[in-house]
């Protein structure tokens, strides 16, 4: 008798308890090509996603995260699957011909609908209509609101994103603008993301924006903003070039080809980071540098979060702690309060709050808690004081270079810093500030 080959089903989750319904097993997405035809006036989207993936096992069934839109047609390697099931959050695809382990395969999904955010433990996330335009905020599980994907930060991929809409609008997305053309009152914009990008960092921003290019060094950076905010934006972001240069000195070279800041006409609860981008609401610009710390915070995420990405959400302190500490470094650099003063101030504030979470594993409901941000920053400050500035910033630059466009974890951070600096104390600092509930003294 001939041997029967075992076919397998890819899991319908990445197994992350923080977002248990997100992500998928059995394969790794390597490239997304998204073509979006969108009408701002009616919030109607017709789109095609071409996903190049590699099978991690022999697959006869796998799934994609996809929510709130209607699937029209699916093909895998140009053939119709045996079955496609569309649940509230997943496209489950059963193959007529299994894909062998290690093989590349191509999934094409045509879809349409009125995109809208998906509900989550952290509010509505994903594709959001503004008063006159669009904003996409995907963290941590909003990407499926506008394209089918493997929506977990442990699966980064390259992207090509093409968006067509009415010609009166400007489109901003991740990566480099590689093509733009207009016809019959509509304009198409194509962006290429050549570095691996997490799905939650993919974004589309549509609005009636003006563009102002600030400088080409240390990396090309630009502002997009409504005309009526030109003066306030010009004042508040006047130091952006200096800030990029400062962080490049402290953290290592800026990790992407460019950096763009978008200021929406709408007010936003908080600014947002995306790959190569930051988004601010009109309420975050006052024309008096009132939110410089937020500008520093979002910029720092380009290194910590967007280039060095946590492979599991429980390690989010590595992203938010670094971004918070960047606020203190910038204020110190500008001649304001020193990092020592700010650390003492924020330790006092944290001390007044309950000590009922472990920052290194805060749980899904507390992953964006301010204590994660502040205790993460305090851990970094304690390590800096122990090592001294030269050793600390040398280790940071080596760390961002070694893990560039990759993944990080708490254990990896401890191991890297201990090995690079020769200090056995690193694990103890992380344990006290991040992995234990009691609040240490400075």
Among residues 207, 231, 255, the one where a domain terminates is 207
Q: What DSSP character marks residue 8?
A: E
Q: Do residues 59 and 145 make contact, with C-beta atoms less than 8 angstroms apart?
A: no
Among residues 302, 324, 359, the one where a domain terminates is 302
Number of domains the chain is built from = 3
242 plus 159 within the same structural domain: no
442, part of any domain: no
**What SS3 class is residue 284?**
helix
Arithmetic mean of pLDDT over the chain:
96
116 plus 201 within the same structural domain: yes
**pLDDT value, residue 442:** 86
Domain hosting 256: range is 210-302
334 plus 413 within the same structural domain: yes
131, part of any domain: yes
395, part of any domain: yes
401 plus 297 within the same structural domain: no
251 plus 364 within the same structural domain: no
Q: Cα-Cα-Cα-Cα dihedral of 107, 111, 117, 120, to 10°?
A: -40
| Interhelix angle 240-251/317-333, nearest 10 degrees | 120
130-154 tens-digit pLDDT: 999 999 999 999 999 999 999 999 9
184 plus 280 within the same structural domain: no
314, part of any domain: yes
172-199 tens-digit pLDDT: 999 999 999 999 999 999 999 999 999 9
Distance of alpha carbon 199 from alpha carbon 142, whole angstroms? 9
Q: What DSSP character marks residue 348?
A: H
Pair of tokens at residue 107 = 């999934």
| Interhelix angle 370-387/317-333, nearest 10 degrees | 60
Kindly report the CATH number assigned to the domain that includes residue 104: 2.60.40.1730
**pLDDT value, residue 2:** 46
Pair of tokens at residue 201 = 């960092």
367, part of any domain: yes
118 plus 197 within the same structural domain: yes
Pair of tokens at residue 429 = 């600092």
290 plus 143 within the same structural domain: no
Kindly report the CATH number assigned to the domain that includes residue 273: 3.30.2010.30
196 plus 54 within the same structural domain: yes
27-66 tens-digit pLDDT: 999 999 999 999 999 999 999 999 999 999 999 999 999 9
Rounded to an integer, the average pLDDT of 222-228 is 98
64, part of any domain: yes
pLDDT of 246 strictly over 90? yes
386 plus 401 within the same structural domain: yes
53, part of any domain: yes
Rounded to an integer, the average pLDDT of 353-370 is 96
**What whole-number percentage of the chain has pLDDT above 90?**
98
65 plus 141 within the same structural domain: yes
Q: Residue 112 — pLDDT band, cuts 50, 70, 90?
A: very high
Among residues 158, 189, 207, the one where a domain terminates is 207
98-107 tens-digit pLDDT: 999 999 999 9
138 plus 98 within the same structural domain: yes
158, part of any domain: yes
């Amino acid at each position: 008798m001939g041997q029967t080959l075992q076919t397998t089903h890819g899991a319908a989750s990445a197994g992350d308890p923080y977002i248990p319904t997100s992500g998928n097993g059995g394969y790794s997405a390597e490239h997304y090509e998204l073509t979006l035809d969108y009408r701002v006036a009616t919030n109607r989207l017709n789109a095609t996603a071409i996903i190049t993936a590699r099978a991690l096992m022999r697959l006869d069934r796998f799934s994609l995260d996809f929510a709130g839109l209607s699937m029209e047609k699916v093909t895998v390697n140009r053939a119709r699957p045996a079955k496609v099931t569309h649940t509230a959050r997943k496209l489950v695809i059963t193959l007529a011909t299994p894909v062998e382990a290690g093989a590349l395969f191509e999934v094409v999904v045509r879809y349409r609908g009125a995109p809208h955010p998906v509900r989550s433990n952290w509010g509505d996330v994903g594709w959001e209509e503004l008063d006159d335009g669009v904003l996409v905020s995907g963290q941590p599980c909003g990407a499926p609101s506008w394209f089918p994907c493997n929506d977990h930060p442990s699966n980064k991929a390259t992207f090509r994103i093409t968006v067509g809409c009415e010609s009166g609008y400007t489109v901003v997305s991740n990566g480099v603008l590689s093509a733009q053309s207009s016809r019959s009152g509509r304009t198409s914009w194509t962006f290429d993301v050549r570095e691996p990008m997490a799905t939650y960092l993919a974004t589309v921003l549509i609005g009636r924006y003006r563009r102002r290019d600030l400088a080409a060094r240390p990396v090309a950076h630009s502002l997009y903003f409504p005309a009526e905010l030109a003066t306030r934006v010009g004042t508040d972001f006047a130091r952006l070039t200096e800030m990029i240069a400062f962080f490049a000195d402290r953290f290592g070279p800026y990790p992407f080809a460019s950096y763009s800041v978008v200021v929406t006409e709408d007010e936003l609860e908080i600014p947002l980071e995306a790959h190569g981008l930051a988004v601010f609401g009109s309420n975050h610009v006052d024309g008096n540098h009132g939110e410089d710390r937020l500008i520093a915070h979002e910029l720092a995420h380009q290194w910590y979060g967007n280039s060095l990405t946590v492979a599991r959400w429980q390690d989010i302190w590595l992203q938010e702690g670094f971004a918070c500490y960047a606020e203190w470094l910038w204020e110190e650099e500008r001649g304001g309060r020193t990092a020592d003063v700010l650390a003492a101030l924020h330790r006092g504030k944290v001390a007044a709050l309950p000590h009922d979470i472990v920052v290194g594993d805060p749980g899904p409901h507390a992953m964006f808690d301010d204590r994660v941000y502040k205790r993460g920053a305090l851990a970094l400050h304690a390590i800096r004081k122990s090592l001294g500035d030269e050793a600390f910033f040398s280790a940071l630059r080596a760390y961002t270079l070694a893990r560039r466009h990759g993944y990080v974890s708490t254990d990896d951070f401890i191991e890297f810093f201990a090995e690079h600096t020769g200090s056995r104390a690193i694990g103890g600092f992380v344990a006290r500030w991040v992995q234990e509930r009691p609040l240490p003294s400075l």
